[in-house]
């Protein structure tokens, strides 16, 4: 019997956790960063699609924690350990953080892609989660798909061939 592989869609400022038979996918990452954290043995993985680097940027008290790099990664860890992943074995793959627009004078918002990538890396380092692979920066949008069975991250861009990291 073959089992159908399901696709779980992760939206903007969204976060999902899945086990083995479901792939995780998020489309049209520009300056946003897609973060995958996974446990290769338990075939458990989670994906977050963050927009902004730091929850302290929020101008309102109540926030969507999945929108910011720092809080989304914290929540991803909690959700992963709830679904049986071993936190000591977790690894990460990240993609996105492009700089889609260039204007002079450059505003802080223009640099949001690189700032998102820095914030994601900083948070992962502080939690001692190794970054196994990454495809970040540049000037192109990305659509990414993670397969928990193989721990492979497929990355589509408009002008380049699909790559697997």
How far is residue 165 CA from its own chain's centroid?
13
Q: Are strands 6-9 and 22-29 parallel, antiparallel or unpaired?
A: parallel
Q: How far is the CB of 17 from other proteins (least distance, A)?
A: 5
Return the CA Rg of the chain.
Answer: 15
Shortest distance, position 138 Cβ to other proteins, whole Å: 11
19 makes contact with other proteins (CB under 8 A): yes
Whether 101 contacts 85, CB under 8 Å: no
Q: Which of 14, 40, 118, 132 binds other proteins (CB under 8 A)?
A: 14
Q: Are 98 and 30 in contact (CB under 8 A)?
A: yes
Q: Out of 33, 36, 37, 52, name the contact with other proteins by CB under 8 A.
A: 52
Instruction: At 3, list the tokens.
Output: 């089992």
The reply to whether 51 sits near other proteins by the rule CB under 8 A is: yes
Binding residues vs other proteins (CB under 8 A): 8, 11-21, 27-32, 46, 51-52, 57-60, 62-67, 75, 79, 82-84, 98, 100-103, 109, 112, 140-143, 156, 158
């Amino acid at each position: 019997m073959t089992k159908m592989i399901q696709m779980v869609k992760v939206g903007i400022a969204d976060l999902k956790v899945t086990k083995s038979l479901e792939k995780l996918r998020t489309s049209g990452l520009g300056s946003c960063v897609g973060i995958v954290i996974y446990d290769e043995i338990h075939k458990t993985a989670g994906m977050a699609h963050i927009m902004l680097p730091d929850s302290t940027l929020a101008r309102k008290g109540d926030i969507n924690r999945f929108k910011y790099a720092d809080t989304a990664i914290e929540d991803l860890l909690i959700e992963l350990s709830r679904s049986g992943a071993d936190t000591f074995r977790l690894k990460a793959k990240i993609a996105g953080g492009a700089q889609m627009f260039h204007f002079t004078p450059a505003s802080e918002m223009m640099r949001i892609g690189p700032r998102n990538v820095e914030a994601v890396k900083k948070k992962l380092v502080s939690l001692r989660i190794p970054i196994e692979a990454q495809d970040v920066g540049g000037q192109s949008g990305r659509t990414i798909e993670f397969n928990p069975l193989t721990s492979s991250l497929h990355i589509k861009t408009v002008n380049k061939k699909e790559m697997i990291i």
